[in-house]
């Protein structure tokens, strides 16, 4: 045996002390196939770590795993903003994987959020096979897209007004103000903690990749929307230039379309791409040639977990024409208080003793919560089941009623990666 190396010891999960953040970061980076940060990168990362609620897994004095969350607010259907733990930096060293450290860390984050009274946890998953067992479901997808600017023009429905490019000094305050005003535009949008906003706009701040923020000004000269994009010159003269879209946020649909009109008329850029746009993006119907807009892939965007079903169900709105409503029984093996029955109708959701129409596993309810997913589909795959008195003939109608109550337009979207 190698001197100083013993047999595996028990793994301890505990809050990370601030003087351990860098060690924990190095562990998490190794698990996520990223080199540990140098001093410069670490200095940039530290503010986010200082805001985080960090748990780590230790074998003796070796940090073998890490998971954290940062506080954000998630917009839910109807416009309320719910306290949310945004789970991030999850990783266990390969040498210590599959020994329960990941589960212990997730358990710690779930318990921590419950103690703080945060009704939601949210995350972006490296792999779609990890988080369902902890009660997370996919509450929203997003699409990678490619747009042929020449075929897309002209854009319909754009508001009048002017566009202005912002300097590196100007953009943070303007973008922050406009973004906040846009948060009620779709369920699933989240507040951006300052260190994450800085990282999101890093290229603009540092003047890299020809990254630009352009703002739309209304007729009074007030900012009411912005785009964040990068452009690159064609590699050879017979090719068109390319642009990449990071953010398109506006306070109204016509201003959003004005931002698109601006992008799609930038000279020399023939092809625009975006790694993540809403599935029901407005621009799809606003282009001149529908096939100018192409979805290149659709992926799960936000994974959500209801930590407090009572508060979460009561906080969102439901379709007012949803009839008598439905009674949903929830099954949550991790959080005892979430096991119960709720009557949901157009006026809201409340606990009830009535018999259940539908029985939903917590990962299914979490997926359905933002209104972008289907009860019928969840039932088809067995994560939602009929209540004891719902015979087969009635089930279709009950599921259609549940879909009607919960569904929202526009669909959930977040647009912030963490
Ligand atoms: C994901 C990760 C943190 C899990 O940690 P872990 O300590 O191995 O997890 P556990 O030992 O608690 O495993 C719990 C269960 O999840 C399963 N599981 C864990 N990681 C999995 C994965 N990547 N794919 C499929 N199943 C996985 C285990 O097989 C186990 O299943 P079981 O309960 O049926 O036996 C770890 O694999 C990792 O660091 N992966 C690389 C980095 C990464 O992807 N991080 C997530 C960023 S979002």
* Single residue among 270, 302, 334 that ends a domain in this structure: 302
Does 68 reside within a domain? yes
Same domain, yes or no, for 29 and 146? no
341's tokens: 């029955």
129 lines ligand 1 (CB under 6 A): yes
Element (H, E) at 15: strand 12-15
Q: Which residues pair with 68 in a beta bridge?
A: 54, 88
93 lines ligand 1 (CB under 6 A): no
The pLDDT tens digits of the residues spanning 4-51 come to: 566 778 999 999 999 999 999 999 999 999 999 999 999 999 999 999
* Single residue among 258, 287, 302 that ends a domain in this structure: 302
* Single residue among 135, 153, 178 that ends a domain in this structure: 135
Full residue range of the structural domain in which residue 25 is found:
12-135
Same domain, yes or no, for 225 and 247? yes
**Ligand 1: distance of its center to the CA of 238 in Å?**
48
Q: What is the CATH number of the domain that holds 354?
A: 3.30.1050.10
The pLDDT tens digits of the residues spanning 79-133 come to: 999 999 999 999 999 999 999 999 999 999 999 999 999 999 999 999 999 999 9
The pLDDT tens digits of the residues spanning 316-349 come to: 999 988 678 999 999 999 999 999 999 999 999 9
294 and 151 in contact (C-beta within 8 Å)?
no
Same domain, yes or no, for 163 and 106? no
d(CA 309, CA 319): 19
Closest atom of ligand 1 to 89 CA is 47
Closest atom of ligand 1 to 98 CA is 11
d(CA 418, CA 123): 8
Pocket test for ligand 1, best of 11, 27, 29, 98 (most atoms within 8 A of CB): 98
pLDDT of residue 5: 63
Supply the DSSP string of 311-369, one letter for each residue.
HHHHHS---TT-TT-EEEEEE-SS-GGG-EEEEEETTEEEE--SPPSEEEEHHHHHHHT
Q: What is the CATH number of the domain that holds 288?
A: 3.40.630.30
Number of domains in the chain: 3
181 lines ligand 1 (CB under 6 A): no
Nearest CA to ligand 1 atom 46: 90
Does 162 reside within a domain? yes
d(CA 135, CA 111): 13
The pLDDT tens digits of the residues spanning 39-80 come to: 999 999 999 999 999 999 999 999 999 999 999 999 999 999
Pocket test for ligand 1, best of 24, 97, 134 (most atoms within 8 A of CB): 97
Nearest CA to ligand 1 atom 3: 91
Same domain, yes or no, for 180 and 104? no
pLDDT band, residue 272 (cuts 50/70/90): very high
Does 416 reside within a domain? no
Give residue 30's Cα distance to chain centre: 24
Does 4 reside within a domain? no
pLDDT band, residue 373 (cuts 50/70/90): very high
Entry pTM: 0.96
Same domain, yes or no, for 43 and 168? no
29 lines ligand 1 (CB under 6 A): no
The pLDDT tens digits of the residues spanning 175-234 come to: 999 999 999 999 999 999 999 999 999 999 898 989 999 999 999 999 999 999 999 987
Contacts for 361 with CB less than 8 Å, ≥ 6 apart: 331, 332, 383, 384
d(CA 316, CA 371): 10
Same domain, yes or no, for 186 and 100? no
Peptide bond into 3 cis (omega under 30): no
pLDDT of residue 233: 87
pLDDT of residue 1: 44
Same domain, yes or no, for 239 and 264? yes
247-251 long-range contacts, CB within 8 A, separation 24+: 247/179, 247/200, 247/415, 248/277, 249/178, 249/179, 249/182, 249/185, 249/225, 249/415, 250/178, 250/182, 250/216, 250/224, 250/225, 250/226, 251/178, 251/181, 251/182, 251/185, 251/224, 251/225
pLDDT of residue 239: 84
250 and 155 in contact (C-beta within 8 Å)?
no
The pLDDT tens digits of the residues spanning 218-255 come to: 999 999 999 999 999 877 878 889 999 999 999 999 99
Phi, psi (5° rounding) for residue 331?
-115, 115
192 and 200 in contact (C-beta within 8 Å)?
yes
Same domain, yes or no, for 152 and 267? yes
Nearest CA to ligand 1 atom 36: 92
Does 46 reside within a domain? yes
pLDDT band, residue 3 (cuts 50/70/90): low
């Amino acid at each position: 045996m190698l001197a100083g190396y013993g047999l595996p010891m028990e793994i301890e999960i505990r809050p990370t002390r601030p003087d351990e953040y860098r060690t924990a970061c190095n562990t998490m980076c190794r698990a996520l196939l990223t080199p540990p940060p140098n001093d410069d990168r670490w200095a940039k990362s530290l503010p986010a770590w200082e805001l985080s609620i960090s748990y780590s897994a230790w074998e003796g004095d070796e940090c073998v795993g890490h998971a954290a969350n940062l506080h954000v607010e998630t917009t839910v259907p109807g416009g309320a903003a719910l306290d949310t733990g945004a789970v991030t930096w999850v990783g266990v060293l390969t040498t210590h994987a599959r020994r329960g450290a990941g589960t212990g860390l997730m358990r710690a984050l779930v318990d921590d959020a419950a103690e703080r009274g945060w009704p939601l946890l949210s995350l972006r998953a490296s792999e779609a096979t990890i988080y369902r067992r902890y009660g997370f479901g996919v509450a929203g997808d997003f699409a990678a897209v490619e747009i042929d600017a020449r075929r897309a023009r002209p854009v319909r429905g754009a508001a009048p007004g002017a566009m202005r490019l912002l300097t590196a000094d100007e953009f943070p305050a303007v973008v922050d103000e406009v973004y906040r005003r846009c948060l009620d535009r779709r369920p699933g949008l989240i507040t951006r903690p300052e260190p994450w906003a800085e990282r999101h706009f890093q290229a603009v701040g540092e003047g890299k990749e020809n990254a630009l923020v352009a703002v739309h000004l209304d007729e009074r000269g007030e900012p009411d929307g912005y785009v964040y994009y990068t452009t690159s010159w064609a590699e050879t003269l017979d090719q068109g230039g390319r642009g990449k879209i990071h953010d398109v946020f506006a306070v109204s649909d016509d201003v959003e379309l004005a931002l698109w009109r601006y992008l799609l008329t930038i000279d020399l850029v023939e092809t625009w791409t975006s790694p993540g746009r809403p599935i029901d993006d407005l621009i799809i119907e606003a282009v001149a040639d529908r096939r100018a807009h192409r979805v290149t892939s659709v992926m799960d965007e936000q994974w959500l977990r209801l930590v407090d079903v009572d508060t979460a169900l009561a906080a969102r709105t439901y379709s007012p024409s949803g009839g008598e409503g439905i009674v949903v029984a929830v099954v949550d093996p991790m959080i005892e208080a979430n096991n119960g029955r709720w009557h949901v109708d157009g006026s809201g959701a409340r606990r009830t003793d009535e018999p259940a129409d539908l029985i939903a596993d917590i990962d299914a309810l979490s997926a359905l919560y933002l209104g972008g997913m289907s009860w019928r589909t969840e039932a088809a795959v067995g994560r939602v089941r009929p209540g004891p008195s719902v015979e087969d003939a009635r089930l279709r109608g009950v599921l259609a009623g549940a879909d009607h109550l919960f569904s929202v337009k526009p669909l959930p979207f977040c647009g912030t990666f963490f």
